[in-house]
């Protein structure tokens, strides 16, 4: 039945909506059951998906969709006005599709249900493994968000790598169990490592459109999940929130945690709450690697549970010196480089960023400082990249700095991440006023916050300083700000 709906939607996109293979469709959607048939219908039609965070402001949505060359958007009624506002500013825009909504041809809006019920003559194209399937946006190792070109080969390779017995989420005898997730499907973790992985293996996936303590606890009680997909902040909630009891976790047997490292102390705290040993496995990846490159195998010894795991099959890695680029041996910290069939082709229309991130022989520079031990387990030490991770979401300091510099009284600014127990990190801005300017913290926050998504807000506060530390080439020395000022 699902395959039938996927094919009918693909035919509607090509026939009724007039889209052509190779064009890009934007998704402005929360986690909904229709996400599977919508996304797979788009790719079956030979089209490319780019998805945005529903928390984005209209300007943020427009910026990504313009850059990606979006020709149609799929959304829900809640966000329909945002789409109708930005659609006229997208060159060559064809139509809007509303899941759960009705046709409104006066506004060029098609209801998803009506498209699925209509008869279409369009023939589905052949798909090459190298065709562009997904165009998520990532800040990479630095700078503004860029379109990550992921092919069908990249996505499928990663699914197959994760299906090997030592790495698969669930064994064949466990596939009749339920998995619970609240992680967003617009993110590569939620899209490929969770949604597509569960669909491929036939796992019953229960998904929430957003996190609230009440809804998550209710899902634990009602669905009795065997498997949880989490990020460390969600694991901390389960381990420490007084409303979560041992009984709520009684059905949980295995957990996958990603997006940021979960410490040994946090894992132990969860085990104590559960009152027994739960299999907790960590992974590591990037949007640029579709996403997983490292994962904890099922047979990992307890001493390795807080590591990022080992390399997936058909994946290579090397750790190189930050100063010389020389390859390093075990227990020596340096930048992690990875190579494999899951690694992206490059960034959309951004040759400079692609050359900075991908070497000529296919190594992906992760921007993360790691080391590995004699058993091949990797340990995340720090990030040499500038990204701030708030509850697993990427926040670009450059984006926030550019907005703050719009304020007339600001001479210079630097944004860094400061540690936070629940969020992992929070953005903090260090601001240099222009001579005699009266800029206040309130002025900065009032200017920035309406322009950005909630998780990008400068929740770490504003600090006014005399100058921003920079190296001779003008690069901000963010670590000096973290050490000296936080």
pLDDT in tens, 390-409: 988 878 888 899 899 889 89
The dotted CATH code for 2-127 is 3.40.50.980
The dotted CATH code for 150-383 is 3.40.50.12780
**Which positions ≥6 away from 268 have C-beta within 8 Å?**
none
The angle at the Cα of 346, spanning 190 to 354, to the nearest 5 degrees, equals 120
Whether 382 shows a pLDDT value over 80: the answer reads: no
* Confidence tier at 486 by pLDDT (50, 70, 90): very low
What tens digit of pLDDT does each residue of 445-481 get?
999 999 999 999 999 999 999 999 986 556 688 888 8
Contact 169, 302 (CB under 8 A): no
Q: Is 485 exposed, middle or buried (0-12, 13-18, 19+ CB in 10 A)?
A: middle
Mean pLDDT along residues 275-299: 94
Select from 3.40.50.1970, 2.60.40.10, 3.30.300.30, 3.40.50.10490 the CATH code of 388-485: 3.30.300.30
- Asked whether the domain spanning 388-485 has the same topology as the one spanning 2-127, the reply is no
Q: What percent of the chain has pLDDT over 70?
A: 96
d(CA 158, CA 193): 8
- Here the tokens at position 290 are 């579709």
What tens digit of pLDDT does each residue of 36-89 get?
999 999 999 999 999 999 989 999 999 999 999 999 999 999 999 999 999 999
Q: Looking at 16-96, list the stretches that DSSP marks H as alpha helix, in order from N- to C-terminal side.
A: 35-44, 58-68, 80-86
- Beta-bridge mates of residue 95: 72
The residue extents of the domains of the chain are: 2-127, 150-383, 388-485
Beta strands 424-433 and 227-230, pairing class: unpaired
């Amino acid at each position: 039945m699902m395959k039938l709906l996927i094919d009918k939607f693909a035919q509607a996109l090509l026939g009724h909506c007039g889209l052509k293979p190779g064009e890009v469709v934007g998704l402005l959607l929360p986690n909904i059951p229709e996400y599977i048939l919508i996304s797979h219908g788009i790719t079956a039609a030979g089209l490319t998906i780019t998805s945005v965070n529903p928390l984005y402001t209209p300007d943020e949505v427009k910026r990504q969709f313009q850059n990606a060359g979006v020709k149609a958007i799929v959304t829900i009624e809640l966000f329909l006005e945002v789409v109708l506002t930005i659609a006229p500013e997208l060159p060559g825009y064809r139509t809007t599709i509303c899941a759960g909504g009705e046709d409104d041809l006066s506004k060029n809006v098609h209801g998803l249900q009506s498209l699925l019920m209509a008869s279409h003559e369009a023939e589905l194209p052949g798909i090459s493994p190298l065709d562009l399937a997904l165009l998520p946006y990532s800040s990479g190792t630095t700078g503004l968000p860029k379109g990550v070109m992921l092919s069908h080969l990249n996505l499928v390779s990663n699914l197959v790598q994760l299906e090997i017995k030592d790495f698969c989420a669930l064994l064949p005898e466990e596939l009749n169990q339920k998995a619970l997730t609240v992680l967003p499907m617009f993110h590569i973790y939620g899209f490929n490592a969770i949604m597509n992985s569960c669909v491929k293996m036939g796992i019953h996936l229960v998904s929430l459109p957003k996190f609230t303590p009440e809804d998550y606890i209710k899902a634990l009680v009602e669905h009795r999940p065997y498997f949880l997909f989490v990020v460390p902040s969600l694991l901390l909630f389960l381990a420490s929130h007084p409303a979560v009891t041992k009984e709520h976790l009684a059905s949980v047997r295995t957990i996958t945690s990603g997006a940021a490292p979960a410490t040994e102390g946090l894992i132990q705290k969860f085990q104590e709450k559960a009152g027994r040993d739960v299999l907790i496995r960590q992974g590591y990846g990037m949007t640029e690697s579709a996403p997983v490159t490292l994962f904890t195998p099922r047979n990992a010894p307890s001493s390795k549970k807080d590591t990022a795991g080992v390399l997936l099959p058909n994946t290579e890695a090397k750790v190189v010196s930050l100063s010389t680029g020389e390859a390093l041996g075990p227990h020596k910290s340096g930048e992690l480089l990875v190579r494999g069939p899951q690694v992206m082709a490059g960034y959309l229309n951004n040759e400079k960023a692609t050359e900075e991130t991908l070497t000529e022989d296919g190594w992906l520079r992760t921007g993360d400082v790691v080391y590995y031990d004699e058993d091949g387990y990797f340990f995340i030490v720090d990030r040499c990249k500038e990204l701030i991770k708030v509850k697993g979401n990427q926040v670009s300091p450059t984006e926030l700095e550019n907005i703050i510099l719009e304020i007339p009284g600001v001479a210079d600014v630097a944004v860094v991440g400061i540690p936070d127990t629940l969020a992992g990190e929070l953005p903090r801005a260090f601001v240099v006023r222009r001579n005699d300017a009266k800029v206040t913290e309130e002025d900065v926050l009032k200017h920035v916050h309406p322009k950005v998504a909630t998780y990008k807000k400068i929740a770490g506060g504003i600090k006014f300083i005399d100058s921003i530390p920079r190296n001779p080439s003008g690069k901000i020395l963010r670590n000096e700000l973290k050490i000296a000022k936080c």
